[in-house]
Amino acid sequence: DGDASEARRANLSAFAPSPSFLCSGTGLVSRGLCHLFNRHVPTAHRSEASSSSVFGKLRCLFGKGPSAGNGVKLTGYYRLRTPLLSHSIGTPLEDRKRLGLRGLLPAGVVPLHVQLDNVMEQLRGKVSDIERYNYLATIQDGHEDLFFAALVNHTFECMPYVYTPTVGEACVKWHKIYRHSPRGLYISLGDRGSIRKILEAYPEKGIKAICLTDGERILGLGDLGANGMGIPIGKLALYTACAGVPPQQCLPVHIDVGTNNMDLRGEAGYMGLRQERVRGEEYDSIVREFVEASQAVYGRSVLLQFEDFGNTNAFRLMREYQPKACTFNDDIQGTAAVVVGGLMASVRVTGTQLSKHRYLFYGAGEAGVGIADLIAEAIQEEVG
């Protein structure tokens, strides 16, 4: 740790959100991820980071190894209980002595690639997708190196269990499969006036990307309230695996303003506020406080990704905070960027300009309107 960890933190602190990392595709993962993130790896480790090995790929995400964002050196039992720091049974013998881990692990040292083979064997043996989701979440909660080794090296196979479509079932059952391990922040109406203190108390201090939801429009499932937290957690896992954003720089957040899902409010195990959603100034004030607190604690360049907000709030929040923050709405702008990017690519194949096509939209939700707006902008730019 010590000087080496400080050097890694200083190196990673240079990261700033940009459109390029938001648009990076999964095709970069298996071959190009290290090149994508190579500039954030200390020079001494670049040859290993560019390696095709499992450990080499992870080094380009974490540097020499993930370090505690709060600068605290953890040893012994509590180090093993910290997913970003624990290398579990892969910890070298000399590190076990130095970090006070002797007696806490079996005597043998199991390389990461062997652990990965075991994980994939167990994953493939599960009988349902939700079991695979829970299994990968268990790995993430204990050993993030291993979790991202699976997601980076087996992206096509693992992504459906980390994010869509399985995350939808996970959100529906969130109050039943809750893991009792802290991940991200749950901020509710009762926290108004204290949000900055909550952010300051969070152990990771170098947050660069926040994915937040109020749970009102989760995928096509509707209002799931606090159960919607599965979406920011899953989305930010993809930030790391597909775009090379260090996991200690990502923060999933749920803002609990109630839920209009009567069935969910009636569930004995539901963990969110058992009240109707607030609207108007009461709603706006907690979102405003969160945005301002995030910028005060993490800097004005912190990325705020609004995810799965209802139509009532999504468009107006996007317009309100575009001039004030580094922000985007994934359902409106992210989807539009992918679709219009595909249309632009088709121009090179067909030779037919965007302005020569006729576009039909089925519905006028966040995605449809966002796509239509961006197509109109692209056509305007094309024809002058």
**Can you name the residues that pair with 213 across neighbouring β-strands?**
254
CB 80 within 8 A of CB 134: no
**Can you name the residues that pair with 253 across neighbouring β-strands?**
185, 212
Kindly report the length of the chain.
Answer: 384
Side-chain half-sphere exposure of 59, counting CA atoms within 13 A: 19
Q: Which of 163, 270, 283, 321 is catalytic?
A: 163
The kind and range of the H/E element at 162 are helix 155-162
Helix axes 29-37 and 230-243, enclosed angle (nearest 10):
80
- Give residues with Cβ within 8 angstroms of 384, minimum separation 6: none
Phi–psi pair at 210, nearest 5 degrees: -120, 130
CB 166 within 8 A of CB 160: yes
Distance of alpha carbon 101 from alpha carbon 51, whole angstroms: 29
Burial class (CB in 10 A: 0-12, 13-18, 19+), 215: buried
How many CB atoms neighbour CB 165 within 10 A? 10
How many whole angstroms from its chain centre is CA 357? 36
Active-site residue flag, 235: yes
Distance of alpha carbon 239 from alpha carbon 257, whole angstroms: 26
- 165: cis peptide before it, omega within 30°? yes
Active-site residue flag, 163: yes
Task: Specify the residue for token string 């991940």.
Answer: 183
Task: Specify the residue for token string 């605290």.
Answer: 72
Q: Which of 57, 161, 235, 298 is catalytic?
A: 235
Residues designated catalytic = 163, 235
